[in-house]
Amino acid sequence: MGLLALGTALDWPDVKKRAPQVREWGIKQLLEIWNKAKGKERDALLWGDEVEYLVVTYSEDDKRVLLSLRQAEILEALAEDKELKKKGGCVPDLQHVEQVAADKSNPIPVFHPEFGRFMLEATPGKPWGIGLKELLEVEPDMKLRRKIAKAHMLPTEYPITLTTFPRIGAPGQFTDPYYPASGPRLRSQFVPDEIANPHIRFPTLAANIRSRRGRKVEVNVPVFHDKDTPNPWKDPTVNYDLHNWPEDDDVRNGAAPDNFIHMDAMAFGMGSCCLQITFQAKNIVEGRQLYDQLSPLGPIMLALTAATPIYKGFLANTDVRWNQISRAVDCRTPEELGEKPLTDGARRIPKSRYASNSTYISTDSRLRKEYLDPDLVFDADIKQQLLNGGMDDRLATHFAHLFIRDPIVVFEEDLQELDLNKTDHFENIQSTNWQHMRFKPPPADNSIGWRVEFRPMEIQITDFENAAFTVFMVLVTRAILSFDLNFYVPIKRVDENMERAHAVDAVLKEKFYFRRNPFPSRPSRANTVMGDESHPGSAYPSRPATPSGPVEDEYDEMTVNDIINGTDNGDFPGLIPIVESYLDSINVDVSTRCQLATYLDLIGKRARGDLDTTARWIRNFVDTHPRYKHDSVVDDEVNHDLIGAVIAIGERESAGQNFAGLNIHGLSRLLNGFRGGCGGDGKASNGTYGHTNGNT
C-alpha cells in the first residue's frame, strides 16, 4: 500500500481538525505535479500487475486451517535474503522458472505488506514493457513470486490466492497464533486487532474510519439459502451480550439484520486479495482516454473473475468481494449517508470511498455530457483552486470529487511544513479513494509518466489464470489504443453493472449495459481541436464532432458472453475477437500467438460457461463435500479440504506438473483443456489440462 511514513498518527478528532490543511496542501502538491507533468510526452508503454496472497497454516492432519500472522517475519526473511537479490538459483526448487529469471533482465519480484497481517503482495521486479513476448513472462514471473514467497515461509505455511479466507471471523481459532477478538482499535466481535498489519498506519486507518462513522462498519452480506438453511436465517455467531465497547451496542441497535452474514471490521474487506494492473500512458491525454475506456469494463471483469462465495464460515448469496470491501471502509457519517439532517457544512455522499468510479475524465469529444454522473458530488472551492491553477474543468472536477473525502491517517510530523517536492498530502487523499479505476499522476520527481490502474478483478487460484486475466487486459488496452475503441456508457450504468456483477453466477445469469458499437465512426478527420482545448502537446488523433441521437440507443443489455465472445447476431463483435484482430494487425510469431491463445481460450470459456468461475467451483466443492449439510455452513473440515485442494493445485502448478490424477471435485470444470500443445496454426489445442511446462 505504498510507502509508509512514520510518526505520530493522530486520532480522529485531531485528524478532523487538520483535514482542511491536508486537503489544501494536497491540492497545492497536485497543481505542482500537474504543471510539471501535463506536457510530458512519449513515456513508454509500461505496465505492471499486483498479486495478493493469503498466508495460511495448513497441515493434512490438523482439520483447522489458520491464517498465519507472520507477514512481518516473512517480509523480513525476504528482505534479508541476499542470495535472492542475485536472482536465480538462490531460492530452492526454482526449476523451470529459473531460466526465466536468469535470462531476462528483470530483477527479482518485489514483496509488499498489505492491510491483513496474513497477507502479502508481490509485483514484478520492474514494470513490463511493450513487447508481446513480455506477456509470456508474466506467468513464469507470477510462479516465481509464489515460489520465492513459499521458500521464505515455514513448511506448514502456504501463500494462496483466494480472495478471502472462508472462515475469517468464525467462532473459535482462525489465526495463528490465537488472539481473542474485541480489541480497542477494531472493536470487532469477531476478529482481534492483531489481524491487521501492526504498522501504525493500518490500525489507525481502521480505528479512524470507525470513529468518523460514529459506529463500527457494517458489512452485511446476504446469506445463501440452501435447502436446509433456516428461513429467516439469523447469524448464529453474533453476540448480543457483549459490553466491552460502546460499539457493542451496534448489534443491539439492528446492525445485524436477518438473512445476512454480519461482519463488523475493516479486515473483512481489506483482508481480501485482488489482481490489479497499472498501465503507463504515453502522455496525459492517452492516460485519460484509458481511464475512461477501461472503466465500463470493470464490472464485466469483476463478474468474470468472481471468486468470493464464502464469508465467516457461511455461503453468501453474492459471488464477489467488491461491496464488502466498500462497506468495510465506509467512513461516512449518518448525515452524509442521509440518515440524519445535514448540519455544519456537511453534504450527502452517495458512495463509500471504496466504490465504482463516478467520473469520466477524458478529453475525447465522444464523451457526451449524458454519460457523466448527474449526482456527482465535488468540492466547489477545490475545483475553483484547480481551475485557477490551470487545470481543465473535467480533470479539476475529478480531483475535486476525490477531495470531498477527509484524510483518515495523518501524522503530526507531516503537518509542520508544506513540501512541494513531495506528493504525500495529495496521495493521502488519492490513495484512500479506492475506486475501480485510479488515475495516477507522476510522482513529484516526474521520473515516470501518467498511469491508470485497473482494480476490479478478483484474484484467481492459479498463476495460469492470473496471467490469463492480466494478459487479456493488457491486450484489450492495446486494442483500445490501436483501434481507438469507444466503450462509453453512462457512468450510472457502470454503477448498475457493478451491482449486477455481485449476483451468484452473474457471468451466466446477468445482463450488463454495454456499448453496441465500440468502433470509432469518423465521418470527418477534419476536426483538429479536441473537446478540451487546454491540453498542450496533444498528439491525439482528430475526432468527429460530438455525436448526437439518444444515448440509450448506443448501448444494450448483454451477457458477459456477448461482451467477451460477441453476440450471436454479430451486433457486438466481442472483446476476444477484437483482441484477435488486434493480434492479426501486428506481427506475432506462431508460438507467441499460441501461448496467448491459451489465455484467451480460458477467458472465452469462462464467459461462455464452458468452464466455471472460481466462485462456482468453490460452491460446487462445498456442495458436494460429504460433511456439508446444505445449511450454508462451511465448517472447519470443509474449509480444510477446500484449502487443501487449493494448495494441491498450486503445488502441482508450481512444480510444472499435470493436474491429472488430482482427485479434486470439479477441477476439470475450472481448468480443463488448458496447456495442451500448440498447433502449427498458432491455435492452442486443448489437451489434458494443467501441463504448464511442455509447450512446444
- State the residues that interact with ligand ADP by CB under 6 A: 1-2, 46-50, 112, 123-124, 127, 276, 278, 280, 448, 451, 453
Whichever of 486 and 613 has its CB closer to Mg ion, that residue is 613
**In the block, which residue shows the cell 486507518?**
205
What minimum distance in Å lies between the beta carbon of 119 and Mg ion? Answer: 8
Q: Is 458 in the site for Mg ion (CB under 5 A)?
A: no
Whichever of 509 and 629 has its CB closer to Mg ion, that residue is 509
Whichever of 457 and 576 has its CB closer to ligand ADP, that residue is 457
Select from 152, 165, 194, 158 the least CA-distant residue to 177.
194
Secondary structure (3-state) at 662: coil
Q: Is 121 in the site for Mg ion (CB under 5 A)?
A: yes
The partner in contact with residue 230, picked from ligand ADP, Mg ion, none with C-beta cut-offs of 5 to 8 angstroms by kind, is none
The partner in contact with residue 127, picked from ligand ADP, Mg ion, none with C-beta cut-offs of 5 to 8 angstroms by kind, is ligand ADP
Is 5 exposed, middle or buried, given 0-12, 13-18 or 19+ CB atoms closer than 10 A? middle
The partner in contact with residue 641, picked from ligand ADP, Mg ion, none with C-beta cut-offs of 5 to 8 angstroms by kind, is none
Whichever of 124 and 166 has its CB closer to ligand ADP, that residue is 124
**In the block, which residue shows the cell 490500525?**
203
Q: Of the listed pieces 129-137, 276-284, 580-588, 639-647, which binds Mg ion according to CB under 5 A?
A: 276-284
What minimum distance in Å lies between the beta carbon of 466 and ligand ADP? Answer: 13
**CA of residue 22 relative to chain centroid, distance:** 27
Whichever of 431 and 581 has its CB closer to ligand ADP, that residue is 431
Contacts of 267 (CB under 8 A, 6+ apart): 115, 116, 168, 169, 186, 188, 191, 195, 196, 206, 328
Q: How far apart are CA 223 and CA 311, in angstroms?
A: 9
Asked if residue 162 lies in contact with residue 320, where contact means CB atoms within 8 angstroms, the answer is no
What minimum distance in Å lies between the beta carbon of 382 and ligand ADP? Answer: 22
The partner in contact with residue 554, picked from ligand ADP, Mg ion, none with C-beta cut-offs of 5 to 8 angstroms by kind, is none
Secondary structure (3-state) at 207: helix
What minimum distance in Å lies between the beta carbon of 11 and ligand ADP? Answer: 26
Select from 671, 309, 651, 302 the least CA-distant residue to 464.
671
Q: Is 110 in the site for Mg ion (CB under 5 A)?
A: no
What minimum distance in Å lies between the beta carbon of 431 and ligand ADP? Answer: 7
What minimum distance in Å lies between the beta carbon of 286 and ligand ADP? Answer: 12
What minimum distance in Å lies between the beta carbon of 52 and Mg ion? Answer: 5
How many Cα neighbours within 13 Å face the side chain of 280?
21
Whichever of 272 and 592 has its CB closer to Mg ion, that residue is 272
Reading the block at residue 310, the C-alpha cell is 464464502
Whichever of 200 and 337 has its CB closer to Mg ion, that residue is 200
Select from 331, 320, 315 the least CA-distant residue to 223.
315
The partner in contact with residue 442, picked from Mg ion, ligand ADP, none with C-beta cut-offs of 5 to 8 angstroms by kind, is none
Burial 334-359 (b: 16+ CB within 10 A, else e): ebbeeeeeeeeeeeebebbbbbbbbb
Whichever of 43 and 193 has its CB closer to ligand ADP, that residue is 43
Q: Of the listed pieces 115-123, 219-227, 472-480, 481-489, which binds Mg ion according to CB under 5 A?
A: 115-123
Give the one residue of 50, 134, 580, 635 binding Mg ion; rule: CB under 5 A: 50
What minimum distance in Å lies between the beta carbon of 447 and ligand ADP? Answer: 8
What minimum distance in Å lies between the beta carbon of 277 and ligand ADP? Answer: 7
Amino acid making up residue 432: T
What minimum distance in Å lies between the beta carbon of 344 and Mg ion? Answer: 33
What minimum distance in Å lies between the beta carbon of 278 and ligand ADP? Answer: 4
Whichever of 121 and 319 has its CB closer to Mg ion, that residue is 121
The partner in contact with residue 124, picked from ligand ADP, Mg ion, none with C-beta cut-offs of 5 to 8 angstroms by kind, is ligand ADP
Q: At what angle do helices 12-37 and 380-388 cross, to 10 degrees?
A: 30
Judged by CB under 5 A, how many residues of this single chain contact Mg ion? 4
Asked if residue 273 lies in contact with residue 262, where contact means CB atoms within 8 angstroms, the answer is no
Whichever of 188 and 276 has its CB closer to ligand ADP, that residue is 276
Whichever of 124 and 407 has its CB closer to ligand ADP, that residue is 124
Whichever of 2 and 184 has its CB closer to ligand ADP, that residue is 2
Asked if residue 301 lies in contact with residue 501, where contact means CB atoms within 8 angstroms, the answer is no
CB closest to ligand ADP, residue no = 48
Secondary structure (3-state) at 433: coil
Give the one residue of 106, 276, 308, 362 binding Mg ion; rule: CB under 5 A: 276
Amino acid making up residue 671: L
What minimum distance in Å lies between the beta carbon of 455 and ligand ADP? Answer: 8
Binding mask 154-193 for Mg ion (x = CB under 5 A): ----------------------------------------
Give the DSSP H/E element, type plus range, for residue 286.
Answer: helix 284-294
What minimum distance in Å lies between the beta carbon of 389 and ligand ADP? Answer: 24
Contacts of 279 (CB under 8 A, 6+ apart): 45, 46, 47, 290, 451, 452, 453, 454, 474, 477
Q: How far apart are CA 190 and CA 268, in angstroms?
A: 10
Q: Is 319 in the site for Mg ion (CB under 5 A)?
A: no
Residue 232: asked if its preceding bond is cis (omega within 30°), the reply is yes
CA-based radius of gyration for the chain = 24
**In the block, which residue shows the cell 454522473?**
373
Whichever of 50 and 373 has its CB closer to Mg ion, that residue is 50
What minimum distance in Å lies between the beta carbon of 191 and ligand ADP? Answer: 23
The partner in contact with residue 451, picked from ligand ADP, Mg ion, none with C-beta cut-offs of 5 to 8 angstroms by kind, is ligand ADP
How many Cα neighbours within 13 Å face the side chain of 262?
21
The partner in contact with residue 484, picked from Mg ion, ligand ADP, none with C-beta cut-offs of 5 to 8 angstroms by kind, is none
Asked if residue 142 lies in contact with residue 467, where contact means CB atoms within 8 angstroms, the answer is yes
Q: Of the listed pieces 47-55, 307-315, 323-331, 421-429, which binds Mg ion according to CB under 5 A?
A: 47-55
Q: How far from 389 is each of 35, 145, 395, 530, CA to CA, in Å?
A: 8, 43, 12, 21
The partner in contact with residue 77, picked from Mg ion, ligand ADP, none with C-beta cut-offs of 5 to 8 angstroms by kind, is none
Q: How far apart are CA 560 and CA 581, in angstroms?
A: 20
Binding residues for Mg ion (CB under 5 A): 1, 50, 121, 276
